[in-house]
Amino acid sequence: MRTITAVLFISFGLLFMFFPRLQTEYYSFYETRLIDSYEKINRELEAFSNEEPHLLSSEEPHAIGVLEIEKISLKLPVLQGVDQETLKVGAGHMIESSPIGEKGNAAIAAHRSRTYGRQFNRLDEVEVGDVITVTTNNHMYRYTVYSITVVEPTNIDILQHDGTAPVLTLITCDPVKDPTHRLIVQAEMTEALY
């Protein structure tokens, strides 16, 4: 009986110890799955139609695009909305902001995971002049970073824009551990491809 109890305690202890790592691996797998699913659906739709492809509807969250920052080796699915479930698996496009690629300010938020290289963990390494690429449906947009700031969480002025040019605003918590502020990276569209 003592052996069974000891084995159970050790098993639960190991599970408790490795749960955060398993959870991180699951969300990494899910991010990759979302990106792969997004790219596969768009390839299939392009093969059958000359019209702009639209993602299939389902109850499971699906990517509306992919955000890439080559400098920090980031490739992250972008989903619609910024609820907690969305932000667990990717970046979220703030519905209240402008659509990606159109005039105005398109805001995208993501967690700043403590795991190196996950989500916006390395966003603080981005510098003015760096390139951010966002691919949505049949379009690819390149943005060049022009501003990096840290603001209070209540400061929503950063979302204001005169609407004369397409701007992308990336938002995450700062610092990584015990965040008290928001790290804001703003970029202006420099190129719209296909």
Residue 169's H or E segment, with its range, is strand 166-174
Residue 109's H or E segment, with its range, is strand 104-109
% helix, strand, coil for the chain, step of 5: 30, 30, 35
* Residues annotated as part of the active site: 111, 173
Sequence-separated (6 or more) residues with CB below 8 Å from residue 15: none
Say which amino acid occupies 145.
V
Distance of alpha carbon 8 from alpha carbon 171, whole angstroms: 43
